[in-house]
Amino acid sequence: MHCPFCRATDTRVVDSRVSEDGGSIRRRRTCAGCERRFTTVEQMLLSVVKRSGATEPFTREKAVAGVRKACKGRPVSEDDLARLGQEVEDTLRGSGCPEIAAHEVGLAILGPLRRLDEVAYLRFASVYRAFDSADDFVKEIGELRADGLAAAGAPVPAGTG
């Protein structure tokens, strides 16, 4: 590690602390050359593996951008989207894998989006799962209704699941 003040390479760690979410480590360092202190933050790099095999760093904003399109015209705030993005990132980082398939990012988005707004969920799912017909929508709506009734403790009507 180079000292940001004098560029010396002889630095040592004085203190290390793991962040609350466990995704990064904060280190206090001191330079043997100029004796100044500085802080570094080490963060686990999370990469997305695309269908082509290419990899790119995961960015929460890119994941939220697709969701934002599905939420257009819906009563979903930027704070809601930020929380969804954080939940998706936490889920992906929690897997412990440094590389995540792009498909897994989409799956990580579906659950939180479904809880946030069912219409936006249907919009996103229709693109993500490549719905081909109205029957795909009917099936997904039936599953939403069945899950909603089951969560409310009501019996699920025949033919809706």
Per-residue pLDDT tens digits for 29-82: 999 999 999 999 988 789 999 999 999 999 999 999 989 999 999 999 999 999
CB 76 within 8 A of CB 33: no
What does the mean pLDDT of the chain come to? 89
Q: Work out the pLDDT band at 84, boundaries 50, 70, 90.
A: very high
Of the two residues 23 and 18, the one the predictor is more confident about is 18
**Tokens 């043997």, residue?**
32
Q: Of 42, 123, 35, which Cα lies nearest the Cα of 76?
A: 123
Q: Of 132, 156, 154, 127, which Cα lies nearest the Cα of 142?
A: 156
Q: In this structure, what are the phi and psi dihedrals at residue 13, rounded to the nearest 5 degrees?
A: -80, 130
State whether residue 20 is helix, strand or coil.
coil
Tell me, what's the pLDDT at 150?
Answer: 57
66-76 pLDDT, tens digit per residue, is: 899 999 999 99
- What pTM, to 2 d.p., does this model score? 0.68
Structure tokens at 46: 């999370």
**Tokens 């809601």, residue?**
80
Q: Cα angle at 17 between 13 and 18, to 5 degrees?
A: 130
